[in-house]
Amino acid sequence: MQVVAPNNVKIYSVTSASRSAIPDWQVQRNLKKLKKDTGWRNRIELLQDFGFPEAANKLKQTPDGQYIMGTGVYKPQLRTWDLAQLSMKFERHTDAENVNFEILSQDWQKTVHLQTDRSIEVHSHYGMHYRTRIPRFGRDLRYHFPSCDLYSVGDSSEVYRLNLEEGRFLSGLETLLPEINTLEINPAHQMLAFGGSNGQMEFWDPRARKRIASLDISGTVAKTIDAALLDELPQVTSICFDYDGLSMMTGTSTGQVVLHDMRHPAPILIKDHQYGFPIKSLTFHQSGNCISADTKICKIWNKETGNIFTNIEPPSDINDVCVFKDSGLIMMAVEGTQIQSYYVPQLGTAPKWCPFLDNLTEELEENPNQNLYDDYKFVTKKELINLGMDHLIGTNVLKAYMHGFFVDHRLYEKKARAIANPFEFEEHKKRMVKKRLEEKRQSRIASKKLPKVNKQLAQQLLEKESGPMENPLGDDRFAAMFKDDDFQVDTTSHEYKLHHPSEVFQFTLVTSQTTL
């Protein structure tokens, strides 16, 4: 399990990068080699077969918290994992790639999918139940539970409304947006929010099917950020409401997150990802933090101040983020075979279905595991030239980092150093012989010499306890007591005679006998 600590917040990667780089068909072929691979032997699979053949598109948790559902490629398919069994429950292939899907029931049995071929598929526990098509290519969909209406938007100004109770299309909503990228339903009062390609937002009442208000997101971003830094007009790509119904986050195509209070049109703050990629996922966490993700990075920041809590950078591009409720487990659907899972203990505890994560993190705290760069050697450019490896700059063999490069430790030790310094083995051999000779000399019987200062005290201590001759107490803090003359014990002083009356009595007895 790899551990990183950006901003002093520990993040445990439950899915290792080395595991995701090895396809299943190569595991059996290279099983003997993988046994020697530290990353493979120390891997942790949170769920069995938790991934897709090529990439994952969307990832969601069922409302009852017992299953995880995801869509991916290739071939286009839907997979469901049972959290109680920690394994995949089933997989189901589709004719087209998935854009987004909604879970209609409390478990996995009823779902609705928006596909890339303009089709909407309703799935049940036995398979696809019904399929229909919308006039324009869809980009997002949401299910309105009170009215049983399925809202879908796409590259047009119309919002298509499919009633699943009656099984027919109803009259849609005509917005003023040229194209609608995303929509969201407020969980508190069921208000609809639509984000357009022109950077505008519209809010609708689903009961009266009328426009309530509009909001200019692109103008707000342009006022806060220098317009010269924006390559294009910011579009609204994602929307998220908090459970209180008052807070709202909006993501743009240029990488900004705008936080609003629904009672005021002015934004509370604007968070810039500074990558320029569209915001793909937004989540309000119960810890008081906001989680926003673009293609490259997932940022966790404070809702009140906007200060960064921590950052998560997966090895592949992000498509979707699934955050488990009341926990610190974050899963990411990425452009890779494995779905990346990260556990942040400071964000929340482990979910009920995987309490062993807390035990694993506690063990790692007691026994730190192998670091991420233990298998690599850091070398500067000057060292690369001395080793004759400067021609490898720009290749996959070297990984640029700060003022140097990371090179595989095996390549550095076995090949590069052997070629650059062919006589290094002979020098190492001489050092080992010299070290063994010194060890033999130390094992010989040496004459015991008492220290110059406080010889009598040292002799008394050595008779009681076996310690080094230079420091009979065996503690470096009192080493100066047998080296510095200032610590010499004066046996003729009045204080010494008061503390050692028996020695004084013996001394006077011996002197009196000698005089007689």
Q: Report residue 435's pLDDT band, with 50, 70 and 90 as the boundaries.
A: confident
Q: What is the per-residue pLDDT for 131?
A: 93
What token pair was written down for 346? Answer: 């400071």
pLDDT digits (tens, 9 = 90+) for 82-100: 999 888 999 999 999 999 9
Question: Residue 110 contacts by C-beta under 8 Å, 6 or more apart in sequence?
Answer: 103, 104, 122, 123, 124, 125
Distance of CA 380 to the CA centre of its chain: 28
Q: Report residue 17's pLDDT band, with 50, 70 and 90 as the boundaries.
A: very low
Q: What is the per-residue pLDDT for 414?
A: 63
AA letter at 484: D
Residue 437 backbone dihedrals phi, psi, to 5 degrees? -65, -40
Report whether 463 contacts 435 (CB < 8 A). Answer: no
Q: Report residue 183's pLDDT band, with 50, 70 and 90 as the boundaries.
A: very high
In the predicted structure, residue 19 carries a pLDDT above the cut 70: no
Q: Report residue 469's pLDDT band, with 50, 70 and 90 as the boundaries.
A: low
Residue 168 burial (10 A CB sphere; 0-12, 13-18, 19+): exposed
What whole-number distance in Å separates Cα of residue 197 and Cα of residue 484? 83
AA letter at 391: H
Query: What b-and-e string marks burial along 245-272, b requiring 16 or more CB atoms within 10 Å of the CB?
Result: eebbbbbbbbbbbbbbebeeeebebbbb
Q: Which residue has tokens 């506690």?
A: 362
Could you give the percent of the chain with pLDDT greater than 90?
Answer: 40
What whole-number distance in Å separates Cα of residue 69 and Cα of residue 466? 69
> Which is more confident, 21 or 223?
223
Q: What is the per-residue pLDDT for 383?
A: 82
Could you give the percent of the chain with pLDDT greater than 70?
Answer: 82
